[in-house]
Amino acid sequence: MPITLPDEITAIALADDYPALQIETADCSATLALNGAHLTHWQPSHTDRPVIYLSPTAILQQGKAIRGGVPLCWPWFNAHPTDPDSHPSHGVARIERWDLVSATVEDGSAIIELELKASPGIEAHVPFPFQLKALFNLGQTCSIVLETTNLAKENIALGGALHSYFSLSHIDNATVTGLQHTPYLDTAARPEKSAVQTERELRFQAETDRIYYGSDLPARIHDAEWKRSIVVEKAGSLTSVVWNPWIEKAASLGDLPDADYQRFLCIEAANARHDTRILAPGSTHRLETRFIVENLS
Ligand code: TA6
C-alpha cells in the first residue's frame, strides 16, 4: 500500500494474500478488507460488543464474497436483471480487490477512501466505464458511501445495496421499528407477494426476505438482551431490505454455521427492483448508510 498510514491504522492480512486495515482510534475499533472494500468489524467505544456480525466460517479468498460485515452489492442487487446465469449474485464489487486511495484520522474517526478500478474480469460483467469509490467514516458512528460516476456516453441502470449484517444477542430478542405502514415485496414467499407492514414492531419467527419500498426513513434494531438499539440511516435509497435466512436457508449456506441465523440480522440500504437508478452520462449516484448505536439503560 503506497500511502502512509496514520498510527491508528495498521496494514494487516486477514488470510494469505488478503490485505486489510485494522483501525484502533479513541472512538472505535474496525477492520476493513481491501477485497470487496468490505467492513468486517466495527465497534464504537461506547458499546461493549461488536455491532457488525462476521461469520466465523466466512471464506476469505479473492473472488469470494465474505459472509457477514457489510458487503457492497454493485452494480445490481441480487440476481442479474437479465442474465442471472452468467453474472454473480449481487454484482462484482464485493468479490474484487479494491485500491486504497487515502486513510486519515480526524477527531477520533478514521476517514478511508477505496476505489475499484475496471479490469478485464470486471468488464466481463460490467459493460460500461465507471468510477466507483467507497468512502468510510468510522468513529462513534459508522458511515459508508458507495459513489458511482457514469463515465459512459449513454445512460446506465444502477442497482445495489449496502448489505449490512448486524450482530444480535439472539434473533428472539430483536425487533425492528421504522417500517410500519411501508409496502414491501416478500421475496421469501413462493410466488413473491406484496404486502404492507401493519405492525409497529417487526419480529422474526421464520425466513424473512423483504424489500421495503418508497421510503428513505431510518430503521431501528432493538436488542432487549444487550440493551441497545442500532439506528440504520440511509440516503440515495428508497428501498430497504430486511433479511434473516432462518433455519433451512442458513443450513444451506456453507459459509455460515447452522445456528448462526440467531446471531444476526441484515438491514440494507438498497437500490433494488423499482428503485434501480438511471444514471445519465457524467452523473454521480451516492448510496449511503449510517449506523448509530444507543445504549438503553
Ligand atoms: O439481501 C437479501 C438477499 O438478497 C437474500 O435473498 C439472500 O440471498 C441474501 O441476500 C444473501 O445473498 P448471498 O449472495 O450473499 O448469499
Indicate if ligand 1 lies below 6 Å from the C-beta of 89: yes
Number of CB atoms found within 10 A of residue 151's CB? 13
State the chain's mean pLDDT as an integer. 97
73: confidence class by pLDDT, cuts 50, 70, 90:
very high
The mean pLDDT value for 129-141 works out to: 98
In this model, does residue 75 exceed pLDDT 80? yes
The mean pLDDT value for 125-141 works out to: 98
User: How far out from the chain centre does Cα 111 lie?
Assistant: 18
pLDDT digits (tens, 9 = 90+) for 15-56: 999 999 999 999 999 999 999 999 999 999 999 999 999 999
CA 191 to CA 117: how far, in whole Å?
A: 38
Residues designated catalytic: 163, 268
CA 176 to CA 203: how far, in whole Å?
A: 7
For residue 78, how far is its CA from the centre of ligand 1 (angstroms)?
A: 6
SS3 sequence, 226-258? CCEEEEEEEECCCEEEEEECHHHHHHHCCCCCH
β-pair partners for 12:
20
User: What per-residue confidence (pLDDT) applies to 288?
Assistant: 98
For residue 288, how far is its CA from the centre of ligand 1 (angstroms)?
A: 19
Indicate if ligand 1 lies below 6 Å from the C-beta of 243: yes
Taking CA atoms only, the protein residue closest to ligand 1 atom 14 is 89
What's the predicted TM-score (pTM) here? 0.98
pLDDT digits (tens, 9 = 90+) for 203-255: 999 999 999 998 888 999 999 999 999 999 999 999 999 999 999 999 999 99
pLDDT digits (tens, 9 = 90+) for 264-277: 999 999 999 999 99
CA–CA distances in Å: residue 178 to residues 4, 81, 175, 240, 259: 42, 29, 10, 11, 27
Grid coordinates of 254: 456453507
Indicate if ligand 1 lies below 6 Å from the C-beta of 90: yes
User: What per-residue confidence (pLDDT) applies to 1?
Assistant: 57
